[in-house]
Chains A and B, each alone.
Chain A
Amino acid sequence: MLDFLAMGGYAWYVWMAYGAVALVVAVEIAAVRARRRRAFDELRMSLEPPSANALARAKDAR
C-alpha cells in the first residue's frame, strides 16, 4: 500500500495531478447541485403568491 502511494518516487506529481481532478469533479458537482437548488428557490419566490392553478394541484395531491 505504501509502495503504491509512493508511486516510485513520483508521489508529489502523480497525486497532485489526480487530486486536482478529483477536487474539481467534486466541486463542479456540488456547484451544479447548488445552482439547481438556487434556481428552484428563486422560481418558488417568483411564484408567490401561488396561482389558483398551483393551489388546485396542491389540493389534489393531498
Chain B
Amino acid sequence: MINWFRLSSPVSFYPIAGAWSYAFAVLAALLAGVGLVVALWIAPTDATQGDAYRIIFIHVPTAWMAMFIYVVMAGWSALALGFNTRLSAMMAQALAPTGALMAALALWTGAFWGRPTWGTYWAWDARMTSTLILLFLYLGVIALRSAIEDPRRADRACAVLAIVGAVNVPIIYFSVQWWNTLHQGSSISLTAAPKMAMTMLAGILIMTAAAWCYAISVVLARVQSIIVERERGAGWLESLIDWRAEGTT
C-alpha cells in the first residue's frame, strides 16, 4: 500500500517524479510509434473524406487531453486551497503549460481538418469557441502566476481562477448536444465495414494513451524543476546538487 502522506512532501516526491517521468516517456514513445503507424499507414482511406480524416488521430487525443488536464489542474487547485499543500499547487502550476499546448494543438489540428471537410479553417461554432476560451483560461492562469511575486499568493489566486474556469469544461463537452452548430459529434462516416471502424478506434485509443503518457511524463519533469525553483531555501536540495555535480556535469 502506498503511503500518500509521504508522497505529498516535495522531498520524497522529487525522486519518484523523476522515475515515473522516465517510465512514462518510454511508454509514450512506444505508444506514439505504434499509434502513428496505425494512423498513417494501417487505417484505410476514408470513403468520403479521403486521407484528410487522418487528422482525427491527433485532433481527438489533443482535444481530450486539453479538457482532461484542465479538470486535473482544477482538482489539484482545489486540494491546494483546501489543505494548503505546497505540492498540490506545484502540480497545478506544472499542468498549465502542457494543457495550454494541448488546447492550442486541438484548435490547430481542428482548423486543418475543418478546411478540407467544412470549407473553413475557423467558425464561431460553440465547441470551437469554448475550446478557444479553454486556451485563454490556461494562458490566464499562467499569466496570473507570473504577475504575482509571492508564490503562495500566486498559488491561491491561480487556484481560484482554475476552479472557476472549470465550468467551461462541461460546456465544451456538451456543446455539440446543446447547440446545433458546425462541429459534429462523433459521426465520421467510414466505409461502414466494422473492421475499419475498429482500426480507427484502435488508432485513436493508442494515440490517446500516448498523449496521456506524454503529458504525465512532461508534467512530472516540469514539477521537478518547480520544486527546485521554489524549495531553494530548503536544505535537502543541497544533497541533490552534490549528486548531480558528480554524476552529470
Contact = CB atoms under 8 A, between A and B. Distances in A.
Contacts of B244: 40
Given A7-B51, A43-B228, A28 B104 contact: no
B229 A54 contact: no
Contacts of A8: 45, 50-52
B109 A17 contact: yes
B221 A21 contact: no
Interface string A5-41: 0011110111011101100110011011001101110
Contact of A9 (B50, B214, B238): B50
A14 B55 contact: yes
Interface stretch (B77-85, B111-119, B174-182): B111-119
Interface of A: 4, 7-10, 12-14, 16-18, 20-21, 24-25, 28-29, 31-32, 35-36, 38-40, 42-44, 46-47, 51, 53-54, 57-58, 61
Interface of B: 40-41, 45, 50-52, 54-55, 58-59, 62, 97-98, 101, 104-105, 108-109, 112-113, 115-116, 214, 218, 221-222, 224-226, 228-229, 232, 237-239, 241-242, 244-246
A54 B218 contact: no
A62 B230 CA distance: 30
Contacts of A9: 50-51
Contacts of A29: 218
Contact of B55 (A17, A31, A35): A17
B116 A24 contact: no
